[in-house]
A = this chain, B = another copy of it.
Amino acid sequence: MHAPDKLSIVPLAHSPCGCSLCPTRHLCAAADLEEDVLPLLAACMRTSLPMAKGDHLYREGDPAESCFVVRSGVYKTSTVSSSGHEYITGFYFSGELIGFNGQRDGRYLDTAIALETSTVCRLHIRDLPKLWSIGGGPPLLRMLAERQDCATRQQINLCQSRADARVARFLLESSKRMQRLGRDSALIPMPMSRTDLANYLGITLECLSRILARFRNAGLIRAERTEIQILVLANLESLAFHTS
Contacts and interface: CB of A to CB of B under 8 A. Distances in A.
Interface of A: 79, 81-83, 85, 87, 89-90, 100-105, 109-110, 125, 128-129, 132, 137-138, 141-142, 144-149, 151-152, 154-156, 158-161, 199-203, 241-243
B159 A104 contact: no
Contact of A151 (B138, B142, B152, B199): B152
B159 A100 contact: no
Nearest to A154: B155
Nearest to A140: B103
Nearest to A87: B156
Given A79-B152, A79-B156, A128-B137, 18 more contacts: A81-B156, A81-B241, A100-B144, A100-B148, A101-B149, A102-B145, A103-B144, A104-B146, A104-B148, A104-B149, A129-B132, A129-B137, A148-B148, A148-B151, A155-B158, A158-B159, A159-B202, A161-B202
10 smallest beta-carbon distances between A and B, as pairs: A159-B202, A83-B241, A158-B158, A104-B145, A151-B151, A103-B145, A103-B141, A87-B156, A101-B145, A155-B155
A138 B203 CA distance: 37
Copies of this protein chain in the complex: 2
Nearest to A125: B141
Contacts of A103: 138, 141-142, 144-145
Contacts of A155: 89, 151, 154-155, 158
